[in-house]
Each structure stands twice: as structure tokens, then as C-alpha cells.
Amino acid sequence: MPVPLDEYPIHQTPLSLARVASSDRNFYDRSYFNAHDRAGGTLLITGAGVYPNLGVTDAYAAVRRGDVLRAVRFSDALGDRDLEQRVGGYRIEVAEPLHRIRVLCEHEDLSFDLTWTGAFPAVQEQPHLILAGNRPIIDASRFAQVGTWAGTLHVDGDDITVDPAVWTGTRDRSWGIRPVGETEPPGRATTEPSGGFWWLYAPLRFDDFAVVVIVQEEPDGRRTLNDATRVWPDGRTEQLGWPRIRIDYRSGTRIPIGARLELTTPDGKPLDIEITPGTNVPLHVGCGYGGDPDWQHGQWKGRDWSHSSRYDLTDPAIVARTPYGVIDHIAHARCDDAEGWGLFEHANLGRHDPTGFADWGSVAP
């Protein structure tokens, strides 16, 4: 049967847009946003996704203030696909594609009405691909953008005005294949695991330009994704070579306390960025990413489901699981004399030879 999207001239296969071209159960289509004040005291992470082959749509929002993280989640059956992005009390409105987005959340513990305005054009990233043998476990396209936020945020009884002169952030849109929904049988991976995963993602906003850096490495340091781009207000982009990355970790942990990105402009000149990570949110605590034991994207929770959780990030049980997933940090950056803000997203799990971590238990001296 046709769906409302079929009325628009946007088809790319001989299928109705009720179906996606891949039959892989892990096909997804998702938005991610973060917002923070420049003082770094409040960090909001939120997003929504659809999972056509699982018949599920969901959304989440999490706000960290101090050592407390408030998270709300919504999930429902996916109906006919159309231009409306809504699940429960959450919705995304595309006011001006690739430039202005309105995001709304309605829940008694956490609500907001926020409008995103892109500060620079969106950047198309290199394709994301991770193979398990010959099977893609991640095969996705994504674009990223930096910008500002305006509106209101209400969390646990407090009202916060989100002033675009103070609040900034980053967003991305991605679609393709990645693990979603209920956990699949691991099979061969149980006895032949990869041994580790290293990831860095840093979209950064400066006054005159933005920089987006993505690096993914295998345990021996071989890069499977290497992308560094600078974008200017008029849409011009330049590739910034092969980033050399140094990360300093807090002693006894793998939590970053500083980073240096050594980039190269097309004319061979160095472009170095110093990053100080600030307030962070582990994406696998309340946000549904990477093995979150409380809720995972695409998981069937029944119709019209919602849930709210409050996490004490000093709780020993939470502290113990924090190192084993991707963590999003507010990033304060310097590039020569330019000051910037953005996201420092990082994971260093298991063995990683370039940083001297031999196994899952290794930590910084």
C-alpha cells in the first residue's frame, strides 16, 4: 500500500517508501542533537529514530546538571511513513531543511521547546563502515552541523532560558545499518571478538569556520575511518589531511582531560587544535546507545511507551559501567587565536596499541 511519502518525487528504488531497499533488520534513520551553555554547567543530548524493518520509532532526551542525569524515553509502533517526526510527547519539525529545526519534548520531568539554527552549512561525512567478517554491522551515511539554540528548557522543576548568544551545540543525521533493537545472537564473535574499539568525533564551531574530525581505529591502530573537514560560511570546504591525535587521560582511567588534533591544510600548513573536554554524558547511560542496559534504540517496548530515569553519576554502579561505551563531552577548543566550542565524543575500549592500552583492564598511569 502507498504511504504519504509516496506523493513526493523522492524515490530512489522501485519500492514504495513504506519499505527501505535493505531487508537488514538493523536499518535505521536517526537524528542526534546536543545543546550546552558555554559555562558548561548544563548538557542536553537528544534524538529520535525510525527502524522500518523492526516496525518501531523512538526518541530520547537526557540532561546533565552537576552529577545528576535526567533521561526520558518514548517508543511506539511505526505507522505509515510520512513527513511527521513524532513519537509520544516528542517531535521534530523541519522549519528550513539543513538550517533550522524545532525540537519539542513534553514530559513532566523533562520538557523543552528549542529551535536549532545552523551556523555553517552541513558537512557530508565519509561513509561509515565496520565489517564483522564480510557482514556490515555499520554501513551508514551521515552529515554533521554546528549551530545555536533558542527556546526554553524545563528539568526537574527548574526553568532554563536557552539564549542563542550563550547556547551552542552540534547535530547529525544518519541512516543505514547499525545494531539496533533486541540483541542478536553473537555467534562467532563470542569466541573471536575484535579486541577493542577506538573512536573520536569532534565537530567544532569557531567564529569564522567549523571543523569536523572523525577517526576510527582498530586495536592495532589501523584506521578504518579518517575524515577531517573545514567548512566556511559560504559552503566552501577543505580537507585537513591525516589527523595526528594526542589524548591525555585522567590517571587510573580512560577519561580524556585534554586533546590535541594536528591537522594539515591543502597547501601543507599545520592547523592545530587544542581541546579541553568538559561536562560529559555517557551515551550508554539513559540515551540508548552501545549496550545501555535500561533501554536500546529500536527495542520493542509496546505501544505508546514512555519512561523517565534519574541517574546519580557518582553511584558506584554507574561509575563502573561508564568506561565501556562512547562518552560525549562538551569541548572548549583553541585553534591559533580562535576560540571554539563543540563536541568531543570519544571511546577507547579494550586494546589500543597506539595509546598503550593492552586489554580491557588497562588504564592511564
Domains annotated for the chain, with CATH where assigned, are 25-171+195-355 (2.40.370.10)
Copy the grid coordinates of residue 94.
Answer: 523541519
Query: What was the pLDDT predicted at 130?
Result: 86
Kindly report, residue by residue over 231-290, the tens digit of the pLDDT. 999 999 999 999 999 999 999 999 999 999 999 999 999 999 999 999 999 999 999 998
Query: What was the pLDDT predicted at 313?
Result: 96
What is the rounded CA–CA span in Å between residue 356 and residue 259? 16
Query: What was the pLDDT predicted at 190?
Result: 66
Query: What was the pLDDT predicted at 319?
Result: 94
CA triple 363-275-247, angle to 5 deg: 25
Query: What was the pLDDT predicted at 46?
Result: 98
Query: What was the pLDDT predicted at 189?
Result: 67
The residues of the chain scoring below 50 in pLDDT are none
DSSP SS3 for 199: strand
- Check if the beta carbon of residue 50 is closer than 8 Å to that of residue 29: yes
